[in-house]
Structure formats: C-alpha cells, structure tokens
A and B are shown apart, each in its own frame.
Chain A
C-alpha cells in the first residue's frame, strides 16, 4: 500500500508538465522605410502602467511593438493609460491620462521633457505656436499649456469631463461628457463665451469642408437615451441639423476623411455618412461581426480606414485596415486597448 501511495504522489508531481516560462516574443529588427508611418496609441490597462505606442510602417508592412520603449531604453515606461498622441511644432505630445502627464518627444520619439501638474489629461489641441489646450477627465477645467516652456500656465474652468476639441475662427469647441453641452472658448482671452446643447456623452467632433462642426453624442445606455449627431454653424454657434439615432444606438468615435466630406463613426459596426446625407445610414458600412471596435480613424494619405478591436480589453488589440470601399486589406496586432491613431 505504501508503494502504491508513493507511486501516486510521484505521478502527481510528474504530472506538472506545462512549461511555466512563457516564450518571449522577440521583436524583429525593423528597418524603417521613408514611407509615412502610422502611430497607434495603446492605452494599456487602467492601473497597470502598460501603455505603449506601436508604429506601423506602411512601406514595408512592419510593426514596431513599442516605439517609445525602443527609443527610450533608460526609462522605457510611458505610465498608466496613454490616451492620445498629437504632433505639434515638430514634437510628439503623448497624453498619459492616469499618470497625469504629457510626455513630449522629438520626432524620433525620444523623450525631451514632460508636462506635469495635470490631473487626468485626455487630449491636446494646438491653439497657436505658443499655446495649447488640454482637456481633462477630472480637473473640472481645461489646462492651458505654454508650448515653448512645456508647462501648464493656467486653466479654463469647465465643470465635468472634457474630451475632444476642435479649433476654428479663434474659437475652441470643447466636448464635455458630463454635461449635455459643448463649450465655446475664445482662444484669445481663454474665456468660455458660449455653449451649445448637443445631448449626453458628447465626446467626439470634427469640422467638415464647409467649416461646419459635427458633434457626436453617444447617449446613455443606463437611461436608454440614444445618441445623436449634431451639425453646428461655427460662425453663429447655432445648431443647423440634429440626427437622432434609433433606440439602443450608442455611437462613438466620430472622424472624417481628408477631403472632409465623409463622416465615419463606430456604432457597434463602422458607419460611413456623407456630410450631405439626409439621414443616418440604415446599415453599417463595415459589419461588427464579433469584433469590439474601440478606436477609429481615416488615413489622410489614402483614405484607408484604421479600426482597432480591443477584444476583451486585456490582450493585444487587433488593428484592421480597410480600403476606402470597406474591403479588409490588412490585419495586425498592436498593444493593449489601442484607442487611436496618428498618421504622419
């Protein structure tokens, strides 16, 4: 009996057979071409400090997993939740939401400095060569940044979660996820001059070729308020048209093509809508399938549609590239929770 039990225990111990050490994915040496690059912003997971920026070289169809880490090997961590990336005055501004900072890099992605004293920054909008605005999740204000010294110099009080922004005619239009309004700021004196009712959870906006502002309100699933799309005259700040989505539609990520005549957004699937359309398209342009579309943008170089699929939010995202007709041309992996793109 003793032998029997000894055998049993030996078997139990030997049964441990899966090798524990995971295979390190070896980053292939990427020889970058001169073609224009696509930068993919990967939020990472909230609280995990695993944000990254992927670089997709269209020229040789290669992906660099974490360009920031490659270029900043002495201190390779971006921080917690990379929210957005902008290119201003030949520098990259990488907004790191939950670390409360903006990392400023040269055009090769080598870190130059960082802007601190921010609460929970989301997006940066260049106003002039010297000045930028930064929206914020929690600060109840929009920060004013001096682009020469890369420091925060002031703020514009705006209660709630400010999100994406657009600039036209010395006015900054600022979305606010917590109020039902977008706010209009006079960029000369940094004062809020007006607000426009656009509905709940308005987070994205674009300006079309006729200088009209389009604002997408996502609605609210808990209170069963559907989303809406609003066109605003940027001179008068008056609403020209509002398109209401059918029940249980909660659209997000409004973007526009290079010629500024076609809108795109995510509403489970991806929708395309000409700016002169009389109604919201009834059918999706690119079907959702089992994907979890999370980020969307249009490459101005060729009007290709870049969409990220966050899958379960805790693994590497899939990036789908569709041609202008919506045919899938490419599919590759970026970092965790890819939420947006910067096209060189």
Chain B
C-alpha cells in the first residue's frame, strides 16, 4: 500500500492531472494512510483523517484484498485482524466484537456514512463482498465525537476510491467452490480527466450444504448442513464529476438483494426459515475546495428491508427501515498549519415492522466543532473536539475527544486519545413488541487508549511493530435478554469495564522478485461487568458473553513475480455463552492457504485464484449451536483489461 501511496503523491507534484487527483483525494476522505503515517502534511483534513489522529488503525494490504476478492468483509476481517467476528456459519449473519464491545458498539461506515441497520443497530458483514470497496480500514477505539452513536469499541471504514484519468478498466470474474459456491462479478470503470464512473455487479450463490463435525453424536459424527443455501446479488454505481478546479460532485448507488435459508440449531430439526435482506443505498457529495477553506455537503438515503419467514412456525416478520442523513462539514486553515472544523449532521431513522404498533421515528441533530493543531513541522498533531446531539426521544450526552500523536524520532511514534462515547438505543430496543423499553437511556462512558509504534527499514527488511493499550468504561449498558418465554425487555442493566492490550508485528523482506511478509497480531481483552443491580447475579466481575479474552492472527505471504501465496491462521480463545461464565465454547485455530497467479498479456491480464479454507479440518463453532464447515475449497479466474482513454 505504501508503494501505491508514494506513487500517487509522486505524480501529484508533476502535472495538472495529478493536481486533479490531489483535489479528488482531498474531497473524498481518501488519504491512503498507512497504519501510522509519520508524515501528515495535508493541511486540509477530512473526518476520517481526524478520527485517526492518535489512534491505532489498520489498513488491509492489497495482496489480501486481492486474495479475498470473492469473500465477504466478515471473512477478510476474521482472517486478518484480531477483532472477533461473531459468525453464525457460512452465509449466515456475521457481526463484530471490537475491543470487548458488542455489534451495536461498532460503527460500520461506508464512505463516512454510518450504514448500521437502525432497527438492530448493527450491520451484517456477511452481506458485503470485499470487491466492492477500494479501501478497508479498521479504527480502534471510540470516536462518537465524529461518527455519532455506536462508535464505541471501534469503527470499520469501507471506502470507495475513484481516481480520475485512469482510462477504461474492465474486469470479469468467476469463481467456484465447495458446496455449490458460485461467484460471478464484473466491474467497469470509465475514468477521464473530469469525469469518472464505475459500475460493479455481483452474484454470489451457494448450496452451502457443508459437512461439519458433531462430536456429541457418537453414532453419526459427520453431518451435512441443511437449509442453508444463499444467493447474494447487487450492483454499485459511482459517478464523480469535477465541475471546475474548486468543486467536485459525486453520486454513489448500491443496491443489493440477499436471499438465504437459515438452518436449525445444530441441525437438530427440520428448518424452513428463509430470510431476505434487501437494501438500497444512495449517497451524494458536493465538495468545494479553496486553498484555506473546504466545505462538503453530503446526503445519504438508505432503505433496508429484512423479511423473515419460518413457514413451519407460521412466523412471518417484515421489517422495513429508512435512514436519511444530511451533513455539512467545513474546514478552515489558520495560523501556520492549524485547522478548525465545524459540522452539522441530521440523521432521521424511521421503521415499521409487524412487531411495532405503528411507524416509528427517531431523529438526531448533531453539531461538531474541533480543531487540529500541528506543531514542530508536523511532528506533533493534536485534535480537540466537542459534539452536541439532540435526539427526538430522550437525551444524548455531550461528547468530545482529545487525541494526539507525536513523532518522537523518525522511527518511533507515540499516540494517545481520550473520548467520551455513547450509543443511543436502537429502534427495536425502544419499540419492539413485546418488550421494547421507551425509557432506555443511552449507553455512555469514556475511552482512553495509547499506542506506541516503531517503524524501521534495515536494508531489505521493513519492520513495523506497535503495541496498544486501552481502557473503557460504559455505564447504562443495555442488555437484551434472549429468553423464549415471557416478554424480555432491554434495560440499562450494568456497568462494563473493558480493557486490554494489542500488538501488531509486521516484517517485510524484499529481495529481487521475492517479497516475504509476516503479519502477526495479538489481542488480550478483558471486558467485565463492574456493577449490576440484581442480587445473586453471578455475572459480576465476569467476562461478557461472546467476548474472547485472547485472540491472535498471523498471515505469512510470499510473492514471487506474479505469484502470491498466503498462509493465514487465526486463533480465538474461550468465549463464554453464559454471563456467569458457567458455559463456554472451546478455543480454535483455523488456517487457510490462498494463491493468486497473474498472467499478463498485451491487452489483458488473467488472475487465477485458489484457496483451501480450514486447512487442518478443525471442528469448531464460533457461536453456540452454529457449526462451521470442515475443509473446503475455492477456485476462481479474473480477466482484466485496461485501456487508456483520450
């Protein structure tokens, strides 16, 4: 990635074409930062850049993005990060646990728009194919001051990056895999000096009748999953137009329709559950850029439908929600290199469901003011901000942030941040019938973290090592109960303290055409209940359910000429399934191998791809009652063509 970044900036100072690229970059939150950018020279910052000051961030490597082209965001993150992906099985729902938080405490941001379903307060990462996004970044730690509700444990940034003057690029991919996996996608990108458009289309389907091990059954220990087929299809269309040297407008449309059958628990009984997740997302962006001032006006409209049908149980649930976001951001440079920013955001959520008694609305108006200070010739950056939110139902806390990063030497960077964070109750938590609780207060608390990073190049060896520590306390933690009987109600039950350490180790060795890379990450996270207002509750001081204490991941890749081979391994420690820690799921190591081979022709290139997942046939479960497949394979081919446009 560093290479790409350098390339972009090198040409940025050469010609007008590059100036356009530069403007474009400024307007679209696309500063391709490495995990720790030692030089942040750009005066005109954007929200993504501001949110990353003083924070641990990770960006997926291009080789990895290429290798996971056919997979979902859930797949790529579970193999390549230490964040816990709570995956109910292939094709089924997959959510996150970031630094000891839950899925609603992770913001999923698409080009800076929060795309969490407002009814559930979470996003299903299984429905997001990797190939749609140009950049996938992870931001550790809370940043409610910039992203609003839900940015508590961390944020996942999925960004699209359209470049001007790149010519015509066409790509056609087809992949097959075990259990009837079929994956077809095509993309077309038309990029001229002032106009660029991109079109992506995908269709992923699988019978998904995978084999899994059932150790509890002594008679038949290998079973086949039933009623788990899926079909995910969608299109993404992006347009960007440079009106003049100071203004850019863009429009992005993402439509998807995802159908899946959901198996019964542990395959114990017959299931006829069918779920359809349908979503339209449209965003528009207008940026005006002056040398010392920049303004962005953005709007987004998201329409999400989730229809759940269980014909055996005559359970037909229809859920439809709409989100409308309008936002204005302004950046003013002052002094030598400081920058003041001011923003306003209006978010309106409305939803209807058979489990609501009428159409429900939630709207929020937010004001943000902040300042980025830059001292000592960019060696020291500090960002201070304050945010006020007004919610139509109940009060939201005043939030804010102080974050700083300091380049101690050329090789060592120190980062720290402190933030007030919150999560507003979701529509379901407020209005679900039965059980919804209109009196819920938002979850809120403080998050503090510190990171030290060391980066060095010794001959052909590039070393990057970082260590991070964090602590976070959340009050009014909302607990949704999971009982079958009665009317469980979400309540502000407890106070939770999450803390932990993370390390990242990267080594890259280049010699002639050979590149070796080793990425290794560890996370140790305690997330415990500190206070609870119930007697004889044995969850006090116990680890939260589905929050592993230990996790680690390792990726070893070898690139030779046009050939990449990567070995992935990830480890997840014990996950408790009962809040008194009396029940748990065993830890697991899962490995996979992925290969890419590129054949270049004059006008086109072929990229051959193959993968073996669960290499060592590990029998594991991420979620109780939801088996994961034994060894399985994928194979694919991409045909790509690039033409220069006049």
In the assembly, what is the distance between CA of A34 and CA of B303, in Å? 63
The answer to whether B313 and A80 have CB atoms under 8 Å apart is no
**Interface residue B357 (Cβ < 8 Å from any Cβ of A):** yes
Find chain A residues with CB under 8 A from B573 CB. Answer: 20
Find chain A residues with CB under 8 A from B479 CB. Answer: 312
**Could you write out 5 A-B pairs with CB less than 8 Å apart?**
A48-B624, A99-B268, A116-B269, A120-B313, A337-B483
Most buried by A among B411, B524, B573: B524
Interface-lining segment among A7-15, A146-154, A166-174, A235-243: A7-15
Q: Which of B197-223 contact A (CB under 8 A)?
A: 216-219
The answer to whether B357 and A222 have CB atoms under 8 Å apart is yes
When the two chains form the complex, which single residue of A22, A294, A309 contacts B576, counting CB atoms closer than 8 Å?
Answer: A22
In the assembly, what is the distance between CA of A62 and CA of B436, in Å? 39
The 3 closest A-B pairs by CB, nearest first: A315-B580, A138-B313, A313-B481
Chief secondary structure at chain A's binding surface: loop
**Interface residue A5 (Cβ < 8 Å from any Cβ of B):** yes
Find chain B residues with CB under 8 A from A43 CB. Answer: 483-485
Find chain A residues with CB under 8 A from B394 CB. Answer: none
The distance from the CB of B221 to the nearest CB of chain A, in whole angstroms, is: 11
The answer to whether B482 and A16 have CB atoms under 8 Å apart is no
Q: Which of B457-506 contact A (CB under 8 A)?
A: 465, 467, 469, 479, 481-488, 493, 501, 503
Task: Return the CB mask of A45-84 against B: 1 if under 8 Å, else 0.
Answer: 1111110000000000000000000000011110111010
The answer to whether A290 and B533 have CB atoms under 8 Å apart is yes
The distance from the CB of B603 to the nearest CB of chain A, in whole angstroms, is: 49
The answer to whether A290 and B452 have CB atoms under 8 Å apart is no
The answer to whether A75 and B452 have CB atoms under 8 Å apart is no
Find chain A residues with CB under 8 A from B187 CB. Answer: none
**Interface residue B454 (Cβ < 8 Å from any Cβ of A):** yes
- Find the A residue at minimum CB distance from B548: A20
Interface residues of B (CB under 8 A from A): 216-219, 264-266, 268-270, 310, 312-315, 357, 408-409, 411-412, 433-434, 436, 452, 454, 465, 467, 469, 479, 481-488, 493, 501, 503, 522, 524, 526, 532-539, 545, 549-550, 573-574, 576-584, 587, 624-625
The answer to whether A79 and B578 have CB atoms under 8 Å apart is no
In the assembly, what is the distance between CA of A289 and CA of B534, in Å? 9
When the two chains form the complex, which single residue of B216, B484, B534 contacts A290, counting CB atoms closer than 8 Å?
Answer: B534
Cβ-Cβ contact count across A and B, 8 Å cutoff: 178
Find chain B residues with CB under 8 A from A48 CB. Answer: 265, 482, 577, 624-625
The answer to whether A12 and B583 have CB atoms under 8 Å apart is no
The distance from the CB of A138 to the nearest CB of chain B, in whole angstroms, is: 4
The answer to whether A292 and B534 have CB atoms under 8 Å apart is yes
In the assembly, what is the distance between CA of A48 and CA of B434, in Å? 21
- Find the A residue at minimum CB distance from B536: A318
The distance from the CB of A248 to the nearest CB of chain B, in whole angstroms, is: 13
- Find the A residue at minimum CB distance from B456: A2
Q: A15-B524, A22-B581 are in contact. Are A49 and B534 (CB under 8 A)?
A: no
**Interface residue A94 (Cβ < 8 Å from any Cβ of B):** no
* Given pairs A79-B269, A291-B534, 18 additional interface contacts (CB within 8 A): A5-B412, A8-B467, A16-B524, A18-B549, A22-B574, A43-B484, A46-B484, A49-B266, A49-B625, A77-B266, A80-B625, A120-B313, A138-B310, A138-B312, A222-B433, A311-B538, A315-B578, A337-B485
Task: Return the CB mask of A207-230 against B: 1 if under 8 Å, else 0.
Answer: 000000000000011110000000
The answer to whether B467 and A9 have CB atoms under 8 Å apart is yes
The answer to whether B538 and A315 have CB atoms under 8 Å apart is yes
In the assembly, what is the distance between CA of A15 and CA of B470, in Å? 13
In the assembly, what is the distance between CA of A5 and CA of B453, in Å? 9
In the assembly, what is the distance between CA of A312 and CA of B581, in Å? 13
When the two chains form the complex, which single residue of A18, A50, A81, A312 contacts B493, counting CB atoms closer than 8 Å?
Answer: A312
